[in-house]
């Protein structure tokens, strides 16, 4: 009878241990990249050449294929950060820290893109680059929260301590997400209410919905790819810092 001495490699360990995580997720990177590229190729082709002009907005409707997916990601990334923050606070999960840290700049970028494309779209259709409407204001607040979190990560020296503190702040900032979601229903001013995910089905013809959905998945997979790569980079960065610390200690004792 043999006694098992090797530690059990549960799926939880494989997610939690940084080098294990990198080992099993590295092969995913190339397929994800190719999938993202193919989705963008199809999505952009549909968006530019194979979708109709809007009868009111004309060609400017094509901005939607960038605007809606980035706006969706601006909230999705925060949701990922909130889940990671819970993982970091409740289970002290090391990869949750890494996920939280590498998602913040990506979320800030997608939010800035959503605001920028929305502003470009608003000028020809609403006649203004900016309006202090509920959805826009709350998205701007989301951008500030993202940038604050990035600044907070940079201010801490000890990244492990930073992770738990920032997790608390991330949870507090999560109040904003439902406000963004329901802002169009609470304050109905300029921004239109939800028109894709509705209980009674989307309020768009299929010819516009198809490229929108493809771009939606393209951007989501772009985020997943970049997030995974950023997590790998962060794991490596931490290993470099640990090695530097070891080297410095060895140099000090010698």
Partner 1 sequence: MTAFSALIGRELRMAVRNGGDVLTLLLFFVIVGAVVPFAVGPDKDLLALLAPGIVWIAAFLSMLLGLDRLFRADHEDGTLILLRGADLPFSAVVAAKVIAHWLVAAVPLIVASPILAVLLAMDMGGFWKTVLSLAVGTPALAAFGAVGAAVTVSIRRGGLIAPVLIAPLAVPVLIFGVGAISTGTGPDQSGAALLFLAAISLMAAALCPFMAALAISSGED
Interface residue list for partner 1 (CB under 8 A): 89, 137, 141, 144-145, 148, 151-152, 155-156, 161, 164-169, 171-173, 175-176
* Strand ranges inside 91-244, DSSP E: none
Q: Which DSSP symbol is given to 175?
A: T
Please report how close the Cβ of residue 89 comes to partner 1 at its closest, in angstroms.
7
Residue closer to partner 1 (CB basis): 114 or 167: 167
Alpha-carbon distances of 236 from 16, 233, 241, rounded to whole Å: 15, 5, 9
Beta strands (DSSP E) in the chain are none
CA distances from 66 to 22, 168, 245 (A): 31, 32, 44
Min separation Cβ 251 and partner 1, Å: 25
The distance of closest approach from Cβ of residue 99 to partner 1 in the complex, given in angstroms and rounded to an integer, is 17
User: Of the candidates 175, 17, 156, 11, which has an alpha carbon nearest to the alpha carbon of residue 98?
Assistant: 17
Residue number with CB closer to partner 1 (168 or 194): 168
Q: What are phi and psi of 158, to 5 degrees?
A: -90, 110
3-state secondary structure of 127: coil
CB 204 within 8 A of CB 162: no
Beta-carbon count within 10 A of 70 CB: 23
Burial class of residue 153 (count of CB atoms within 10 Å of its CB; 0-12, 13-18, 19+):
middle
Smaller CB separation from partner 1, 70 or 176: 176
Question: Closer CB to partner 1, residue 70 or residue 139?
Answer: 139
Q: Establish how many alpha carbons lie within 13 A of residue 135's alpha carbon, considering only the half-sphere containing its beta carbon.
A: 21
Taking the least distance from each CB to partner 1, the nearer of 69 and 94 is 94
- Min CB(165)–partner 1 separation in Å: 4
Q: How far is the CB of 141 from partner 1 (least distance, A)?
A: 4
Closer residue to partner 1, CB minimum distance, 129 or 156: 156
Residue 62 vs 101, nearer CB to partner 1? 101
Residue 179 beta carbon to partner 1: minimum distance, rounded to whole angstroms: 8
Residue 158: CB minimum distance to partner 1, A: 8
Calpha distance 40→216 (Å, rounded): 10
């Amino acid at each position: 009878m043999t006694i098992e001495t090797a530690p059990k490699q549960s799926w939880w360990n494989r997610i939690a241990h940084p080098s294990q995580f990198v080992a099993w997720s590295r092969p995913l990177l190339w397929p994800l990249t190719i999938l993202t590229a193919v989705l963008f190729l199809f999505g952009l082709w549909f968006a530019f050449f194979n979708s109709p002009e809007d009868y009111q907005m004309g060609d400017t409707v094509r901005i939607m294929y960038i605007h809606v997916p980035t706006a969706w990601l601006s909230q999705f990334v925060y949701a990922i950060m909130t889940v990671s923050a819970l993982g970091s606070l409740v289970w002290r999960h090391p990869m949750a820290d890494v996920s939280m840290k590498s998602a913040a700049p990506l979320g800030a970028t997608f939010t800035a893109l959503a605001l920028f494309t929305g502003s470009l779209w608003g000028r020809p259709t609403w006649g203004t680059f900016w309006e202090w409407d509920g959805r826009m204001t709350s998205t701007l607040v989301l951008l500030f929260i993202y940038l604050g979190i990035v600044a907070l990560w940079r201010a801490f020296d000890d990244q492990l301590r930073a992770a738990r503190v920032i997790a608390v702040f991330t949870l507090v900032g999560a109040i904003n997400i439902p406000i963004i979601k329901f802002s169009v229903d609470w304050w109905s001013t300029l921004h239109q209410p939800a028109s894709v995910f509705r209980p009674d089905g989307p309020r768009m013809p299929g010819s516009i919905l198809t490229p929108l959905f493809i771009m939606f998945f393209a951007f989501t997979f772009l985020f997943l790819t970049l997030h995974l790569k950023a997590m790998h980079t962060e794991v490596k960065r931490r290993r470099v810092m640990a090695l530097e610390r070891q080297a410095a200690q060895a140099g000090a004792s010698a």
